[in-house]
Amino acid sequence: MTTTGAPAALRAEPARPGPVVTQDNAAFWEAARQRQLMVQQCRRCQQRYHPPRPMCPSCHSTDLGLLACSGRATIHSWTAVHYPQSPRFSYPAIVVVVELEEGVRLVSGLVDAQPSDVRIGLPVTVDFLDVEDGAVLPVFRLER
């Protein structure tokens, strides 16, 4: 899902922290910057996984690509973080573990929801949140 044509990108103020980018996870975050949810996939054996790693654990290939995901997922687990609080987030911060349609698990955030709205198993769809330094986080919202 992209936000092309949307009136304005989601933006958090004050700037939320971005991800810690490394050589091993850079492809995931670069895709997110392009407002694409992509997970690592081995070009040789087609295994897919997350978090990204420098080598395919199935075939030991280092020729690793990315699979574009539909952005559809279900909530595998969740929590509403209340305390302690960083001034760079708003609370309660709803954190989710989602199971992507593609069969890969991801930790993310749930936006525009209250703790009482959240249940394991609910369908969610991806959106993208601008944070500090031009970074973009994949986040999810409940399907209406």
Partner 1 sequence: MVGIGATEFSKAAGRSETQLACEAIVAALSDAGLDASDVDGVVSYTIDPVEEAELVRAVGFQELTWSSRVPYGGAGSQATLLHAAAAVTSGAARAVVVWRAIKARSGTRFGGAAVPRSPTSAHAGTSAAQWSAPYGALTPASWIALLATRYMETFGVTNEDFGRAVVQLRAHAATNPEAHYFGRPLSLEEHQQSRWIAEPGIRRADCCQESDGAVALIVTSADEPVAAAATTPVRILAVTGSALDGHEVASDHYVPDIGDFPESRALGNRLFAQAGLGRDDVDVALVYDAFSPVLLMQLESLGFCGPGEAKDLIGDDGLAVTGVLPCNPNGGLIGEAYIHGLNLTLEAVRQLRGTAANQVPAARTALVAATRSGVLLGT
Q: What is the contact surface with partner 1 in residues (CB under 8 A)?
A: 16-22, 25, 50-51, 57, 76-86, 88-89, 91-93, 95, 97, 105, 107-109, 115, 120, 131, 137, 139
DSSP structure class, residue 23: T
Q: Considering the complex, what minimum distance in angstroms separates the CB of residue 58 from partner 1?
A: 11
The Cα 67–Cα 49 span in angstroms is 10
Q: Considering the complex, what minimum distance in angstroms separates the CB of residue 5 from partner 1?
A: 26
Q: Considering the complex, what minimum distance in angstroms separates the CB of residue 89 from partner 1?
A: 4
Name which of 34 and 79 has its Cβ closer to partner 1. Answer: 79
Q: Yes or no: say if 29 and 23 are a contact pair by the CB < 8 Å rule.
A: no
Greatest distance between any 2 Cα atoms in the chain = 45
Name which of 44 and 78 has its Cβ closer to partner 1. Answer: 78
Q: Considering the complex, what minimum distance in angstroms separates the CB of residue 119 from partner 1?
A: 9
Neighbouring residues of 126: CB distance < 8 A, sequence distance ≥ 6: 1, 37, 69, 71, 72, 73, 138, 139, 140
Distances from the Cα of 114 to the Cα of 12, 93, 97, 109, 110, angstroms: 17, 9, 16, 12, 9
Name which of 73 and 139 has its Cβ closer to partner 1. Answer: 139
Q: Considering the complex, what minimum distance in angstroms separates the CB of residue 102 from partner 1?
A: 14
Name which of 7 and 79 has its Cβ closer to partner 1. Answer: 79
Name which of 7 and 10 has its Cβ closer to partner 1. Answer: 10
The Cα 78–Cα 109 span in angstroms is 9
